[in-house]
Structure 1
């Protein structure tokens, strides 16, 4: 660290004391079970290495916004890497549940997208009603595998079938930036059958301006006084900007749009939880990893700005 160029990595402490707490989920067994390309288990540690030099702590572009004045950021470490996937999901839910109870905002970096159900389950434990936004080219509502095994394609079917979720008519699950070429009609019809709890916002309808409809969803959640979980599968980002994922997208959100979405997520005080899934440094590390850390930075920047604006 130099005093004239303090970066985000310079101010992160290694414990659970932060207002925003980073948690790593170093597992890609769920990707393997879904016949995807493995390697996402290396995502959290690669993310941390690239995070060290990401993002200025004082951002002149936002009227000299100094993150340190408004937020403490900490790294709560990884979920134990030597567990079965089912045990890892249980430990993850317990960790996220504990952090939410303490008023922290967990930010979880995977790892496969199967992490999103235990994350959502922890939020259900602590909320009267929730909005879950899955930013993803895919729907991830596939049935469980044989012997009721979860996988990277199943987390949101697990959520929708969770009695705590489906019994509360105020809950909402929104698929955002889904691509019709990637989504089975059987899975689409499954979601249609669950309306009004579920909704699909197709990529083609928002590709020129995803932020306006995303803001509208966040605003609805705020008006309904729901706690919001933003789940960001980075395979929704175009592969020219984000190639290091289990299933790269030929078309998709731009890097700028992804950062804007993260910034606006941070700005909403109703957003209590965010995760990033499918960063696979075995396929491509530096370009994708720098984008993933920039998404994290923009979430933090958005929350710091919201706090500053609230006390002016």
Structure 2
């Protein structure tokens, strides 16, 4: 069994139309007891973009991401970071996609929130990665996690505040109906008293001045007080890097500025949620988003470094990546998305390696035998279903 085969990744549901059941998740946890568990969820929805009349296509993101992951043979080990993922106690479960409820963003959000709660009911310390989809996914992800956390810190890597008024034009152009969309989910967050009570530090990292309304900043500051921080991309990050390079002839990375922030240095015992909006990346690196930014934004290496350092945080619970739109551009942006995911895993691997969470030789043999038995079982089950002309009843699956 080669190193790639030894990576503990369960991807049997990639072509499945429904999410994993609680039983499947429980079997995965029991099969990799003592491992760092990571659950991958696709948010196959662009209703948020439809509701604010933005460019759609984000619903294609999760499956295009998986296709590229398979094509690029990610995740793999990386000699640059000296991390061999195949030798570490990291087990990954691809849980499938959240299917949208047509024209019903609230019901779609409820499905993601419920599935995160289903995972948390079985595994409170695992890492959940959600691939979008529009970035309204961040609200149900936060709701799902907050039900199982006493306190939460939130880092949003985003050029804007997502604090616009809720608005959707009606077909008859009468009075607007106030429904959430992808630009208002943080406003919804601050309107949720349960979440607000559990929020610790909130950091918006890399906001861009021309996308920010000072009135919105003031409203958030009033609501959160000293718990709220914002760091501008152009004024703070780039200027700091430029000044340090000039004064000290020292290379300063965007990720270093983030890692020195108090939300990561002083709050390591508080559970952490991190959201990356791909519109925070410069358009020449990631053009496949609905609102690309040609002038400002992180470059590929900077966002990779950020993902790597976030992966090293032991308190990380939710990591989301949103706004990948293959309908606009598929491959270049998709490769950046895959690289963010890869570097997140390498950061997790670096932490596990430093903690001594390494697979010993006889565990490789046990895992290999387990995979052979699972493959044999799946083959026999498939033959049995063909013989019986079995009709699949989707109502038997959780959260279709």
* TM-score normalised by L of structure 2: 0.72
| Cross-structure match for 1:119 | 141
User: How many correspondences in the alignment?
Assistant: 307
2:311 paired residue among 259, 263, 266 = 266
1:214 paired residue among 258, 276, 286 = 258
Write out the 4+ residue segments of structure 1 that deviate beyond 6 Å after TM superposition: 7-10
Counterpart contact for 1:191–1:199, Cα < 8 Å: no
Other structure's SS at 1:196 match: helix
| Cross-structure match for 1:245 | 289
Other structure's SS at 2:143 match: helix
Structure having the higher Rg: 2
| Per-residue deviation, residues 123-152 of structure 1 (Å, max 9, x unmatched) | 111111111111001110123225441110
| Per-residue deviation, residues 77-135 of structure 1 (Å, max 9, x unmatched) | 00123442211100100111222331321100011010100001111111111111110
| Cross-structure match for 1:74 | 93
Matches of 2:9 and 2:197 in 1, distance apart?
Answer: 42
1:295 paired residue among 332, 337, 340 = 340
1:156 paired residue among 175, 186, 196 = 186
User: Is residue 2:72 matched to residue 1:41?
Assistant: no
Other structure's SS at 2:349 match: helix
Aligned Cα RMSD in Å?
2.2
1:88 paired residue among 108, 118, 121 = 108
| Per-residue deviation, residues 266-310 of structure 1 (Å, max 9, x unmatched) | 100111110001000000000000110111111111111101101
Matches of 1:3 and 1:238 in 2, distance apart?
Answer: 37
| Cross-structure match for 1:62 | 81
Residues 284-293 or 151-160, more deviating: 151-160
Matches of 2:42 and 2:347 in 1, distance apart?
Answer: 21
**Structure 1 unaligned spans of 5+:** none
* TM-score normalised by L of structure 1: 0.91
| Cross-structure match for 1:132 | 154
**Structure 2 unaligned spans of 5+:** 13-19, 30-36, 168-175, 242-252, 358-400
| Cross-structure match for 1:228 | 272
Residues 203-212 or 115-124, more deviating: 203-212
